[in-house]
C-alpha cells in the first residue's frame, strides 16, 4: 500500500509525506520539503552589514524578530561589541512577544482543529467562540508588545547592530505591562486547554537540544545543551553540528556529528530548562503533572507552558526598564574585518546565524541554520516510528496521525529553504 500525503495543510510552508507499506511492514517513508529554495545566504553576500537584519527578517513572517536578533548578535560578536544590559532586556522582551504570538497561532489555529476532527479554525468558530476570543485577546497583546519596541508588529524596523533607534516611553511600557498582567488567567486557560488534548502515544528517544542559561529561561544566549550531555559554547556550534542534504528535499537537515538526529523547540527547552521557568508557569505545569517528556506530541503542551511563562516574564521585564534617552540604547562601534556567529531560541527552536565580514563591512559569507533544519531528520524518524507502531490502523486514521505529528513539531518549511 502506498500513501501519498501530497500536501501537509496548516503548517508554515509546503511539504508532503510519502510512505509505502509492504506485507504489514513500513518499507519506506520520506518527508519531502518541496517548497522552492530562496537563496538568502547567497544574496546576503555583497551586502553591507547594516542591511542584513532587514533582509533576514523576510525569511519568515512568523519569527522575523528571531532572525534579526540572531543576525545582529552574530555581527556584534564579529565586531567585538557587547550591548548594554538594558538593550539585552529589550531584545528579550521582543523575543518573548514573538514566542507568545507564534505559539498562540500554532496552538489555536494550526494544531487544535486536529483534536476535534475539524479541518480548520473556521469550522471551530461556531463551537469554540470563547476559546477563539481568548486567542484573539492574547495575540493582540503579543503583537502590541512587538510593535511597541520594534516600530511595527511584523518585520520590526528599530532593531539595529548596536542597539535600537527608538524606544517607547515609560508610560507606554507600564500600560503594556498592566495589559499583559490582566491576561494571566487567559494564559492559564490556554495551558488547561492544551493539557486536555489527547495525544497519541509515541516515544522517539531523541536527543533534545536547546540553549540553557544560568538562573534564567534562556532565549537570546546560553550554553548549547542536550539531554545526552552536550554542553558547549555558541561559538563551538560548527564543530558539533553538520548540515546534510537528501535528494528528495529542498531543505538541508542538520545533525549532531557522530551522534545523529536531534529535536529542538519548546519541548526541548522545557526538558532542559524546566527549573528556570517562572514560579507560576512551573507550578501550573507541575499541577497538571507535566515536567517534560519524550513524546514529540507534547510539544503542543510545552508551548502552552511557555505562553504562561513568556507573558509573565515580558511583564516583569517591562516593569524593570529604566527607559532614559534613546542615546542610551545604541552603542558606537568600529566596523572591522572578522567573523561572528550567534544562536537564539526562536519559537520553533534553536536558530544559528554565521557571517564573515570584510574591512568595509561587506558580507563575504553567510550561513543560517533554522529550527526546522535541526528537526528535519528527527521528524522523519518519528514519522517512521509512528507508522510502524500504528500500521494496522485504517489508512485515513494513519494519515491524520502523520499530519498531527508534523504539526506538533510546528515546522516552518519556508524558513528551512531560506
pLDDT tens readout for residues 349-370: 999 999 999 999 999 999 999 9
What's the pLDDT score for residue 322?
86
Confidence of residue 326 (pLDDT cuts 50, 70, 90): low
The set of cell numbers assigned to 274 is 524546566
For the chain, the farthest-separated pair of C-alpha atoms sits apart, in whole angstroms, at 71
pLDDT(311) > 70? yes
What does the mean pLDDT of the chain come to?
A: 96
- Alpha helices (H) in 345-410, listed in sequence order: 371-389, 395-408
pLDDT of residue 144: 97
Task: Name the pLDDT band for 310 (thresholds 50, 70, 90).
Answer: very high
| pLDDT digits 0-9 by tens, 144-180 | 999 999 999 989 999 999 999 989 999 999 999 999 9
Q: Residue 349: what pLDDT?
A: 98
C-alpha–C-alpha distance, residues 151 and 198, integer Å: 40
Strand order in the sheet with 338-346: 338-346, 349-357, 363-369
pLDDT (tens digit per residue) in 259-280: 999 999 999 999 999 999 999 9
* 323 pLDDT higher than 90: no
Residue 328: pLDDT band (50, 70, 90) is confident
How many other β-carbons are positioned within 10 Å of the β-carbon of residue 7?
12
The terminus-to-terminus CA distance of the chain in angstroms comes to 34
Strand pairing class (163-164; 209-212): unpaired
Q: In degrees, to the nearest 5, what angle opens at C-alpha 186 toward C-alphas 346 and 312?
A: 50
Q: What is the mean pLDDT of residues 313-318?
A: 98
**Which residues lie below 8 Å from residue 6, measured CB to CB, with a gap of 6+?**
16
pLDDT digits (tens, 9 = 90+) for 74-88: 999 999 999 999 999
For residue 45, the model assigns a pLDDT of 98
245: phi then psi, degrees, rounded to nearest 5: -125, 145
**Average of per-residue pLDDT across 329-342:** 94
Residue 205 has what pLDDT? 84
Mean pLDDT confidence for 219-238: 97
Amino acid at each position: 500500500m502506498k500513501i501519498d500525503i501530497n500536501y501537509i495543510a496548516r503548517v508554515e510552508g509546503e511539504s508532503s509525506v510519502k510512505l509505502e507499506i509492504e506485507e504489514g511492514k513500513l518499507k519506506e517513508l520520506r518527508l519531502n520539503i518541496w517548497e522552492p529554495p530562496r537563496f538568502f545566504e547567497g544574496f546576503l553576500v555583497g551586502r553591507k552589514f547594516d542591511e542584513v537584519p532587514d533582509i533576514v527578517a523576510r525569511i519568515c513572517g512568523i519569527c522575523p524578530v528571531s532572525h534579526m536578533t540572531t543576525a545582529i548578535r552574530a555581527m556584534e560578536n564579529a565586531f567585538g561589541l557587547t550591548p548594554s544590559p538594558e538593550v539585552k532586556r529589550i531584545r528579550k522582551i521582543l523575543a518573548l512577544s514573538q514566542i507568545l504570538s507564534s505559539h498562540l497561532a500554532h496552538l489555536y489555529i494550526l494544531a487544535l482543529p486536529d483534536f476535534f476532527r475539524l479541518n480548520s479554525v473556521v469550522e471551530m468558530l461556531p463551537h469554540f467562540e470563547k476559546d477563539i476570543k481568548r486567542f484573539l485577546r492574547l495575540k493582540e497583546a503579543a503583537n502590541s508588545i512587538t510593535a511597541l519596541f520594534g516600530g511595527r508588529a511584523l518585520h520590526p524596523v528599530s532593531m539595529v547592530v548596536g542597539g535600537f533607534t527608538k524606544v517607547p516611553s515609560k508610560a507606554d511600557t507600564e500600560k503594556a505591562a498592566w495589559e499583559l498582567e490582566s491576561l494571566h488567567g487567559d494564559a492559564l486557560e490556554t495551558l488547561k486547554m492544551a493539557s486536555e488534548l489527547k495525544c497519541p502515544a509515541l516515544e522517539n528517544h531523541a536527543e533534545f537540544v536547546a540553549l540553557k542559561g544560568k538562573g534564567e529561561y534562556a532565549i537570546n544566549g546560553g550554553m548549547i545543551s542536550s539531554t545526552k550531555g552536550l554542553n558547549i559554547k555558541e561559538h563551538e556550534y560548527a564543530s558539533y553540528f553538520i548540515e546534510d542534504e537528501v535528494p528528495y528535499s529542498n531543505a538541508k537537515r542538520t545533525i549532531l556529528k557522530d551522534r545523529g538526529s536531534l529535536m529542538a523547540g519548546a519541548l526541548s527547552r522545557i526538558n532542559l530548562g524546566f527549573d528556570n521557568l517562572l514560579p507560576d508557569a512551573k507550578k501550573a505545569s507541575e499541577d497538571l503533572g507535566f515536567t517534560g517528556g519524550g513524546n514529540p506530541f507534547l510539544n503542543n503542551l510545552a508551548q502552552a507552558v511557555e505562553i504562561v511563562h513568556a507573558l509573565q516574564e515580558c511583564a516583569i521585564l517591562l516593569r524593570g526598564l529604566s527607559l532614559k534617552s534613546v542615546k542610551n540604547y545604541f552603542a558606537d562601534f568600529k566596523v572591522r574585518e572578522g567573523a561572528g556567529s550567534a544562536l537564539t531560541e526562536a519559537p520553533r527552536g534553536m536558530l544559528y546565524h554565521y557571517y564573515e565580514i570584510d574591512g568595509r563591512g561587506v558580507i563575504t559569507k553567510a550561513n543560517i541554520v533554522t529550527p526546522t533544519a535541526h528537526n528535519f531528520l528527527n521528524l522523519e524518524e518519528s514519522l517512521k516510528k509512528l507508522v510502524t507502531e500504528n500500521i494496522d490502523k485504517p489508512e485515513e486514521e494513519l494519515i491524520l496521525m502523520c499530519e498531527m505529528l508534523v504539526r506538533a513539531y510546528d515546522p516552518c518549511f519556508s524558513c528551512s529553504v531560506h
